[in-house]
Amino acid sequence: MKIFKNKYKSTKLVGIELPKHVAIIMDGNGRWAKKRKMPRSFGHRVGVEVLRSVITMSSNIGIKVLTLYAFSTENWARPEDEVGVLMNLLVEFLTKEIKELHENNINIRFMGDVEKFPKKCRDAIKDAIELTKDNTGLVVNIALNYGGRTELLRAFHNMMDDIQNGELQKADVTEDTISEYLYTKGLPDPDIIIRTSGEMRLSNFMLYQGSYAELYIPETLWPDFKEKEYEKALLEYASRKRRFGKI
């Protein structure tokens, strides 16, 4: 599948203030499938197509970082076969698309505890990181077995270790130091968090990094989040006044 064949050209986005970092909670695959009397797995499969088009568009319009919430620490509580479908889709996506992502200078990263995944997933993840590690284009950051609280816990543990072994002084710990201990080390904070399907919650997503992100929560279910919908989100972002506490 040639994901970069479809060069979505949007005249509306020319010259507007684009976010550097877009983070997306891709939600609503199950409901989308149910509405069509199809199994949830069908919704996830169509969801992968949408993910592909959002990556393509982000790269084409010059977004710097795209974070995608693909599997949360809480999603293990789903039925085993659905968890299996999600894993298989991930491996399929990575193996099928990696060459083209690489050719388009995309740098793939992951955040979350991927050690818990089966070997075939871990291998696909490792290969994707290794192949694209020197790429300088769009950073695609995939959140897998990710939870914001676990991320903070891990950060504090690592920080305490470094204080104990003398690599870090307590007095030097700032807000930026905390950022350095998160999975998103080196990346800017998200400017916008998009959550599809109208659910008004963060579901444990980017709790530290998202403190000043603009929230955009369309009713659209993820499999329907086509280029036009993404464009609408970006136009809405450009129209927001970000005050950061000032007047």
Could you tell me if 206 and 146 are in contact, meaning their C-beta atoms sit under 8 angstroms apart? no
Determine which one of 27, 29, 104, 107 is catalytic. 27
Question: Using CA atoms, how far apart are residues 41 and 33, in angstroms rounded to an integer?
Answer: 8
Report the residue number whose CB is nearest to Mg ion: 27
Q: Which of 203, 214, 231, 238 binds ligand IPE (CB under 6 A)?
A: 203
**Shortest gap between Cβ of 28 and ligand IPE (angstroms)?**
4
Task: Count residues near Mg ion (CB under 5 A).
Answer: 1
81: contact with ligand IPE by CB under 6 A: no
Question: Tokens representing 115?
Answer: 């050690």
Q: Which of 3, 13, 19, 27 binds Mg ion (CB under 5 A)?
A: 27
**Shortest gap between Cβ of 205 and Mg ion (angstroms)?**
12
Question: Which residue lies nearer to Mg ion by CB, 72 or 104?
Answer: 72
Determine which one of 29, 60, 75, 135 is catalytic. 75
Q: Is 61 left (phi over 0), alpha (psi -120 to 50) or beta?
A: alpha
Question: Which residue lies nearer to ligand IPE by CB, 168 or 225?
Answer: 225
Question: Tokens representing 42?
Answer: 């069908």
Tell which positions 105-144 bind ligand IPE, by CB under 6 A: none
25: contact with ligand IPE by CB under 6 A: yes
Q: Which of 42, 71, 183, 237 binds ligand IPE (CB under 6 A)?
A: 71
Amino acid at 52: R
Closest C-alpha among 93, 83, 91 to residue 46: 93
**Shortest gap between Cβ of 203 and ligand IPE (angstroms)?**
4
Catalytic, 75? Answer: yes
For residue 152, count other CB atoms closer than 10 A to its CB: 15
30: contact with ligand IPE by CB under 6 A: yes
| Sheet containing 139-146, strands listed edge to edge, beginning at the edge strand earlier in sequence | 107-111, 139-146, 65-72, 21-25, 192-195, 214-216
Question: Which residue lies nearer to ligand IPE by CB, 71 or 93?
Answer: 71
Catalytic, 165? Answer: no
66: contact with ligand IPE by CB under 6 A: no
Question: Which residue lies nearer to Mg ion by CB, 60 or 204?
Answer: 204
Task: Count residues near ligand IPE (CB under 6 A).
Answer: 18
Return the residue matching tokens 């609503």. Answer: 28
Contact set with ligand IPE (CB under 6 A): 25-31, 69-72, 74-75, 86, 197, 199, 201, 203
Contact set with Mg ion (CB under 5 A): 27
Residues with a known catalytic role: 27, 75
